[in-house]
Structure 1
């Protein structure tokens, strides 16, 4: 394994060796099941691994029936001049250009990047509306909302984003004035927090019941640093937070992100990549807790690629998810793998 420094993010991001990933190959389970991947990134050098339209197409055509995807904010393609608050609109412009190529048949399937989640700083308050409207115009119908990562921990080792937010940002009154601009524009909010911050998400959801909130990466259970060796304790705290958040019907959850180093499962340290059975066994308590709490109609499997590529290939990851959903009905599988994402992000056309 290697660690690569991202010049764009200014943080050390672990990266998988493709030769190591190639040591694990599996037959594709349920190859005809339609999948919308509601959370992936795209980026170019100096980040590693490079992950642009060609790499996304490679994974989407690796055997699973990927019919559409949603791009998630990762500070890529920002404008380099003009007003600072408008520079994130460049990310939407960058992804829209790729989505146009997909619809034109340059990349397949046509539904790649059918939805775009980018960034706007809600701490601008009511002034953020102009930024949101610029994103909407740039997205040509694909811009669906923003993600403002608020993941915070007192230990500097626990860091997963470029921006280091202050503690309790979701409760900040100025941010909430900006947050109030989302629902009138029909936009969603992706929330990235760690397990001990879940009460902040619940409080936000209660204050804005008409805004669609998506909890990323099963609510961020941490298993490294000061949390290493405390899995049972962390799980209990995390589960209590998940149940609190799930009581709010305007919140959905993304089922994934557990292959990151953050979770402490250590798959990336093995001599051979884990099998889909290995992934399913390790992640089952988290995935089943979320599905039971939110229900299939408010839960969606996600790849979080290429970040989760640290531990496994795209094909093995989705096999793992299919093993976790093996006992679900056909209707429940449709929700978990495509229908929930299609509804939340308004991209149902990719299923036709």
Structure 2
């Protein structure tokens, strides 16, 4: 292990990537608790529009664990559940099995509302997964999901990440250029009539495929997850070059008014900061310094009215604790106006995911 005070070690040091889950949830909880910070701007209202829950071979991350992370002094009012292959149905048609995740998240939301009526509205909105490659046949899946969501289903995420480099370690990717597939687009066309949005989870070299999709579907509400999928693992290790390419794509994407950007996911190990290798978790100051160029670029091109901050917990817990993460965001936006902050931290999420 290294420490943040060892002058020969930088968070940008290139190391072999061995997956996006270096520590299990129990180890993460112990490690992140070694860095506790007082919440900055604790009265600023926040809707966290991107987190996960599960209880399976990956460990347990349910209400107790989520609320323990949330309870760090920041004013979290509500959250949006993001699909993560949790609690799929174990029987029935393959296409319908993801409906189980929506049922799971909806029951979780009901239980939390009953047991903790004064607490944050957990899973107030739900984004599920439906295989849009089914084309028009996905309609039956979407109809079933809407019923399962009991008024909470807000959108669909069909992950399309692909990289031929080390980002593929330990996982299976979709085939390249899924967003360009004619069957996918036939399925995608079913979202807008149902008032469902689409969360796009892709890596930055794939952003031109999203540009093409947006051109064909200008009336579908699309949210770009994780600031556009920054990579910092081999072969994407020339950070200035990666930033330049990513920035040019972000500028092009900003020309499509139906697209919103979720700023987060920067704590994923795919980004290559390697803070997880330190013996002590990073400070919010260190994270703000690393993440500032990406945060400011998104806001520069999309404006405060088309960006929202996300936690991506517990995935981003590989890098830092929940409270430290929000402090890092707040350090970058400390000089923004109160109305801009409310948009970035609460109002845009409420509007885009229809939580009002």
- CA–CA distance in structure 1, aligned partners of residues 32 and 329 of structure 2: 18
Say if 2:62 is the partner of 1:67: no
Q: Which runs of structure 1 show a deviation greater than 6 angstroms over 4 or more consecutive aligned residues?
A: none
TM-score by length of 2: 0.91
Q: Does 1:152 align with 2:150?
A: no
Using the size of structure 1 for normalisation, the TM-score is 0.92
Deviation at 1:111, TM superposition (A): 1.0
Counterpart of 2:28 in structure 1 is 17
Aligned to 2:240: 232
Contact 1:149 1:161 in 2 (8 A): no
**Conservation of the 8 A alpha-carbon contact between 2:20 and 2:270:** no
Q: Call closer, same or farther: CA 1:162–1:188 in 2, change over 3 Å.
A: farther
Aligned with residue 277 of structure 1, among 280, 285, 289? 285
Q: Which has the higher contact order (CA 8 A, sep 6+)?
A: 2
Encode CA deviations 1:97-129: one digit per residue, 9 max, x unaligned.
110012213476241100001100001101101
Partner residue of 2:49?
A: 38
Which residue is equivalent to 2:99? 89
State the distance in 2 between where 1:24 and 1:114 align.
29
**Aligned pairs (5 A) from 1:294-309:** 294-309=302-317
Matching residue of 1:266 = 274
Aligned-CA RMSD value = 1.5
Secondary structure class of the residue paired with 1:36? strand
> What is residue 147 of structure 2 aligned with on the other side?
137
Match of 1:178 in 2: 187
1:341 is aligned to 349
CA distance in 2, matches of 1:108, 1:39: 21
SS at match of 2:50: strand
Deviations 1:113-147 (A, max 9, x none): 00001100001101101101111101111000111
The separation in 2 between residues aligned to 1:13 and 1:131, in whole angstroms, is: 31
For the 8 Å contact 1:102–1:108, the answer to whether it is kept is no
Give the one of 218, 225, 229 matched to 1:220: 229
Instruction: Report the 3-state secondary structure (helix = DSSP H, G, I; strand = E; otherwise coil) of the residue aligned with 2:81.
Output: strand
1:28 aligns with 2:39: yes
Q: What are the ranges of 5 or more consecutive residues in structure 1 without an aligned counterpart? A: 2-10
Count the aligned residue pairs. 336
Among 114, 120, 130, which residue is 1:104 paired with?
A: 114
Q: Give 3-state SS (helix, strand or coil) of 1:158's partner.
A: helix
Tell me how far apart the structure 2 counterparts of residues 83 and 158 of structure 1 sit (CA, whole Å).
Answer: 31
